[in-house]
Structure 1
Amino acid sequence: MLGALPTAASLYERVRRVIPPIEWSAFAEDIDAILDLKRRRNAVILAHNYQTPEIFHCVADIVGDSLALARKAMTVEADVIVLAGVHFMAETAKLLNPQKTVLIPDLAAGCSLADSITAEDVRLMRRRIPNVPIVTYVNTSAAVKAESDICCTSGNARAVVESLGVPRVIMLPDEYLAKNVAAETDVEILAWKGHCEVHERFTPADIREVRASHPGVIVLAHPECPPEVVAEADFSGSTAAMSDYVERQKPPRVVLLTECSMSDNVALQHPELEFIRPCNLCPHMKRITLTNIREALEQNRHVVSIDPEIAGRARLAVERMLAV
Structure 2
Amino acid sequence: MQTLDFLKQMDQQLPAYYRQLSDKEMMDKIAWIKEELGPKLYIPGHHYQKDEVIQFADDTGDSLQLARLAKQNKEATYIVFCGVHFMAETADMLTTDDQIVILPDMKAGCSMADMANMEQTRHCWNELQQLFGDTIIPLTYVNSTAEIKAFVGKNDGATVTSSNAKEMVRWAFTQKKRILFLPDQHLGRNTAFDLNIPLDAMAVWDPINNQLNRKGKLEDVQVILWKGHCSVHENFTTNNITHLREKEPDRKIIVHPECKWEVVQQSDYAGSTKYIIETIHAARSGSKWAIGTEMNLVKRLMKQYPDKDIISLNPHMCPCLTMNRIDLAHLLWSLESLKQGKIINRIQVDSTISKFANKALEKMLTTV
**TM-score, reference length from structure 1:** 0.87
Correspondence for 2:148:
144
Inter-CA distance 260–124: structure 2 relative to 1 (3 Å threshold):
same
Q: Give the C-alpha shift of residue 280 in structure 1.
A: 3.5
1:53–1:264 CA contact under 8 A, matched in 2: no
* Distance in 2 between residues matched to 1:50 and 1:321, nearest whole Å: 24
- 1:199-278 to structure 2, matched below 5 A, reads 199-250=233-284, 252-277=287-312, 278=315
Counterpart check, 1:61 vs 2:61: no
Unaligned stretches of 5+ in structure 2? 1-20, 198-221, 338-342
Q: Percent identity, aligned pairs only?
A: 36
Correspondence for 2:89:
91
- 1:1-324 to structure 2, matched below 5 A, reads 26-41=22-37, 42-56=40-54, 58-77=55-74, 78-99=76-97, 100-130=99-129, 131=134, 132-148=136-152, 149-164=157-172, 165-166=174-175, 167-186=177-196, 188-250=222-284, 252-277=287-312, 278=315, 279-299=317-337, 300-323=343-366, 324=368
Q: Give the C-alpha shift of residue 209 in structure 1.
A: 1.6
CA RMSD, 1 decimal: 1.8
Unaligned stretches of 5+ in structure 1? 1-24
Say which one has the larger Rg.
Answer: 2
Q: What whole-Å deviation, never above 9, does each CA across 1:87-137 have from its counterpart, x for those lacking one?
A: 001101111114211010111111111111112222233323343110011
Q: Give the C-alpha shift of residue 26 in structure 1.
A: 4.4
Q: What whole-Å deviation, never above 9, does each CA across 1:145-204 have from its counterpart, x for those lacking one?
A: 110021111121111111232442111011111110111114632100011110111110
2:302–2:311 CA contact under 8 A, matched in 1: no
Q: Which amino acid aligns with 1:318?
A: L
* Distance in 1 between residues matched to 2:196 and 2:124, nearest whole Å: 22
What's the secondary structure of 1:122's corresponding residue? helix
2:141–2:159 CA contact under 8 A, matched in 1: yes
Q: Give the C-alpha shift of residue 80 in structure 1.
A: 0.8
* Distance in 2 between residues matched to 1:234 and 1:84, nearest whole Å: 31
User: Which 4+ residue blocks in structure 1 deviate beyond 4 angstroms?
Assistant: none
* Distance in 2 between residues matched to 1:272 and 1:186, nearest whole Å: 38
Q: Give the C-alpha shift of residue 297 in structure 1.
A: 1.3
Aligned pair count reads 299
* Distance in 2 between residues matched to 1:319 and 1:267, nearest whole Å: 36
Correspondence for 2:219:
none
Correspondence for 1:19:
none
2:169–2:192 CA contact under 8 A, matched in 1: no
What's the secondary structure of 1:135's corresponding residue? strand
* Distance in 1 between residues matched to 2:93 and 2:227, nearest whole Å: 26
Inter-CA distance 110–191: structure 2 relative to 1 (3 Å threshold):
same
* Distance in 2 between residues matched to 1:214 and 1:52, nearest whole Å: 29
* Distance in 2 between residues matched to 1:133 and 1:280, nearest whole Å: 36
Inter-CA distance 39–320: structure 2 relative to 1 (3 Å threshold):
farther
What's the secondary structure of 1:147's corresponding residue? helix
Q: What whole-Å deviation, never above 9, does each CA across 1:274-309 have from its counterpart, x for those lacking one?
A: 111333321100101011111111123210011111
Q: Give the C-alpha shift of residue 40 in structure 1.
A: 2.7
* Distance in 2 between residues matched to 1:121 and 1:319, nearest whole Å: 25
Q: Which amino acid aligns with 2:112?
A: L
* Distance in 1 between residues matched to 2:265 and 2:195, nearest whole Å: 15
* Distance in 2 between residues matched to 1:214 and 1:80, nearest whole Å: 48
Inter-CA distance 320–38: structure 2 relative to 1 (3 Å threshold):
farther
* Distance in 2 between residues matched to 1:214 and 1:27, nearest whole Å: 39
**TM-score, reference length from structure 2:** 0.77
Q: Give the C-alpha shift of residue 52 in structure 1.
A: 1.3
* Distance in 1 between residues matched to 2:347 and 2:166, nearest whole Å: 30
* Distance in 1 between residues matched to 2:146 and 2:273, nearest whole Å: 22
